[in-house]
Amino acid sequence: MSKADSERRRDAFLGLIGVKPVVMGILNVTPDSFSDGGRFQSLDHGLAQARQLVADGADIIDVGAESTRPGHTPVPLDEEWRRLEPLLAPLLAEIDAPFSIDTYKAEIALRAVALGVGVVNDVWGLQKDPAMADVVAQSGAAVVIMHNRDGVDPGLDIEADLHRFFARSLALADRAGVPRARILIDPGIGFGKNKAQNLKALASTARLRAAFGLPILIGVSRKRLFGDLLGAGVDARLIGTLAANLATFARGASVFRVHDAAEHVAAFKVFDAIERA
């Protein structure tokens, strides 16, 4: 893919932010993701799922090859790329949509962007791999900076920690030369937080938006939080996901990383109709 085409797709994604709720469809090519592990590892199944997500209204597809759920087993770089390489080029060639790469490894991000991926979704917010900020800056990719912690501290003021973490990440981005216009932040629901802290992080959406002036991505799709709140299994967490995404959209969130694109497009359409009335 040409650099111009990659930039066109990246800018198409960025251009939607603030215009409409942006739906990021999840495509996991992992054997062990908590919700859909092993379902889309083959080329045919991965392409079919990406086509379906776009048909259902997803604005961007987020491709990941390492599960980062609590208790996951880290995947070596070579294995992560072995899962991604057969799929990324065909996806980008066949589906004219923006793509993001869900990785915290700079080398994986570099290879994916070289193929035409326009957004790096880093679950460690540029703080895990010291080369990541430079890769993002030099490649021209947009980046999602997600809050994360090595473990849960129940006594922690999670909102204060979010502010500290994002300040550190943005300092790294600034030092590397990543333009603010290409940065989103994500409070990292389900990462290094207990139930109360996850809810507090979601409730802080408007304050994070005001403090940093950056678009906010929310990734709560089918997460354990809804199992804790509703007693629901993974396949029965859509209603909780929709409720959380609508609540954070009302508080200023911009992008929503989801498994169920069609249902979110419909919910946002109703929400918008009510607001416009």
pLDDT digits (tens, 9 = 90+) for 131-180: 999 999 999 999 999 999 999 999 999 999 999 999 999 999 999 999 99
Task: Provide mean pLDDT across the span 1-23.
Answer: 96
Active-site choice (10, 182, 223, 237): 223
- For residue 72, give the CATH number of its domain: 3.20.20.20
Reported confidence tier of residue 232, pLDDT bands at 50, 70, 90: confident
Give dist(CA 11, CA 4) in Å, integer: 10
Active-site choice (209, 257, 269, 276): 257
Reported confidence tier of residue 187, pLDDT bands at 50, 70, 90: very high
The structure's pTM equals: 0.94
Give the range among 63-77, 201-215, 248-262 with minimum mean pLDDT: 63-77
pLDDT over 50 at 204, yes or no: yes
Counting Cβ atoms within 10 Å, is residue 196 exposed (0-12), middle (13-18) or buried (19+)? exposed
- The structural domain count of the chain equals 1
Give yes or no: 257 in active site: yes
Q: Percent of the chain, pLDDT > 70? A: 95
One-letter amino acid identity for 166? Answer: F
Q: What are phi and psi of 225, to 5 degrees?
A: -50, -40
Reported confidence tier of residue 208, pLDDT bands at 50, 70, 90: very high
Can you give the pLDDT at residue 8?
Answer: 97
Helix residue ranges per DSSP H, the chain: 3-16, 43-55, 77-94, 106-115, 132-139, 158-176, 195-203, 205-212, 224-230, 238-250, 261-276
Give yes or no: 223 in active site: yes
Beta bridge partners of residue 87, listed in sequence order: none
Task: Provide mean pLDDT across the span 177-206.
Answer: 98
Counting Cβ atoms within 10 Å, is residue 276 exposed (0-12), middle (13-18) or buried (19+)? exposed
Can you give the pLDDT at residue 41?
Answer: 57
pLDDT over 60 at 39, yes or no: no
Can you give the pLDDT at residue 183?
Answer: 98
Give dist(CA 100, CA 145) in Å, integer: 13
Can you give the pLDDT at residue 235?
Answer: 84
Give dist(CA 273, CA 277) in Å, integer: 6
Task: Provide mean pLDDT across the span 180-187.
Answer: 98
The domain in which residue 244 lies consists of 3-276
